[in-house]
Amino acid sequence: MQLEGKVALITGSAKRVGRTLALALAEEGCHIVVHYGRSAADAEQTAADIRQAGRQAWTLSADLSDEAAVTGLVPAALQQAGRLDILINSAGIFPPEDFLAADAATWDRNMMINLKTPFLLSQAFARALPEGRQGKIITMLDALALRPANHHFSYTVSKYALRGLTEAMAHALAARNIQVNGMALGAILPNVNDDPALFQRLAARIPAGRTGSPQDVAQAMRYLLRDADYVTGEVIRVDGGRHLTG
Ligand SMILES: NC(=O)c1ccc[n+]([C@@H]2O[C@H](COP(=O)([O-])OP(=O)(O)OC[C@H]3O[C@@H](n4cnc5c(N)ncnc54)[C@H](OP(=O)(O)O)[C@@H]3O)[C@@H](O)[C@H]2O)c1
């Protein structure tokens, strides 16, 4: 896809990985709708940095645990930006809990934010895309959540299911020239609950010998969005080979 002049909606792009993807896409010539939940000041900063790079940027807040707010996001983005060509479902939650501790409320929250939200947003995006115009959707998976894990139980199940959603949407939308792919991240940035020193020690267990960076994710994103129009339903692991180890 020729990226110059295209408009991307990126959920959770006020900071961290989503912000880097937003700035990388702005460098490629895209205008960006910066979605955020609570990080209003960071979202404004990201938008300012995008404008500084010569592109248009809009900020939109929506609580992705609230179905009505999720349903309103694509129409609000279209109203602001006039068009949408790319949707990146980057927002997510990562609560620690094992199977015996998991409760229905945490389960529902993971399924809503990590799974149902990408479904609802992708459907609204695809419905709004004029027939014949190319579109791209990216979902964010987790290289270690493509196998069972007991430490983030509901999260892991939601990301497993998100892989199924990614493939099912790719199949459903291929004939409409909308490509849907996932990026399964490894250790990119420590979570708020993670000990940063422990996170760095993970490097020894990663075949590439280092943890990743948001820039590594941006490289894979560029490939999927800019270079790979015949790739759909694929999941690219961005994890330095971590999935290859036990
Ligand atoms: N970081 C990693 O190493 C890693 C590893 C594996 C997979 N991933 C996946 O890659 C994606 C991006 O990673 P990340 O580390 O940048 O994610 P993150 O920092 O954990 O979350 C990104 C954003 O999601 C938004 N969000 C969460 N709950 C929300 C809600 N109810 N309503 C609105 N927004 C909400 C937050 O926005 P506000 O701050 O504005 O509230 C947050 O800044 C995620 O899907 C994650 O699961 C990341």
Number of compact structural domains in the chain: 1
In a domain, 244, yes or no: no
In a domain, 243, yes or no: no
Q: Which residue in 36, 155, 160, 223 is the catalytic one?
A: 155
Pocket test for ligand 1, best of 71, 140, 243 (most atoms within 8 A of CB): 140
Distance 155 CA to ligand 1 centre (A): 12
Domain that holds residue 216: 7-238
User: Is 141 in a helix, a strand, or coil?
Assistant: strand
Residue whose Cα lies nearest atom 13 of ligand 1: it is: 17
Distance 93 CA to ligand 1 centre (A): 6
In a domain, 2, yes or no: no
Residue 230 is among the residues annotated as catalytic for this protein: no
How far is the C-alpha of 222 from the C-alpha of 60, rounded, in Å?
24
The pair of three-digit structure tokens given for residue 210, joined into one six-digit string: 């280092």
How far is the C-alpha of 182 from the C-alpha of 236, rounded, in Å?
6
User: Is 139 in a helix, a strand, or coil?
Assistant: strand
Question: Running DSSP on this structure, what letter comes out for residue 179?
Answer: E
Task: Identify the pLDDT of residue 195.
Answer: 84
In a domain, 82, yes or no: yes
Read off the CATH number of the domain in which 228 is found: 3.40.50.720
Residue whose Cα lies nearest atom 11 of ligand 1: it is: 90
In a domain, 76, yes or no: yes
Task: Identify the pLDDT of residue 246.
Answer: 73
Mean pLDDT by 10 residues, the chain (246 residues): 98 98 98 98 98 98 98 98 98 96 97 98 98 97 90 96 98 98 97 83 93 98 98 98 90
Task: Identify the pLDDT of residue 191.
Answer: 87
Q: What count of residues does the chain have?
A: 246
Cα→Cα distances 207→203, 210, 241, 243, 246, Å: 8, 8, 5, 9, 11
Pocket test for ligand 1, best of 94, 195, 200 (most atoms within 8 A of CB): 94
Distance 140 CA to ligand 1 centre (A): 9
Distance 13 CA to ligand 1 centre (A): 8
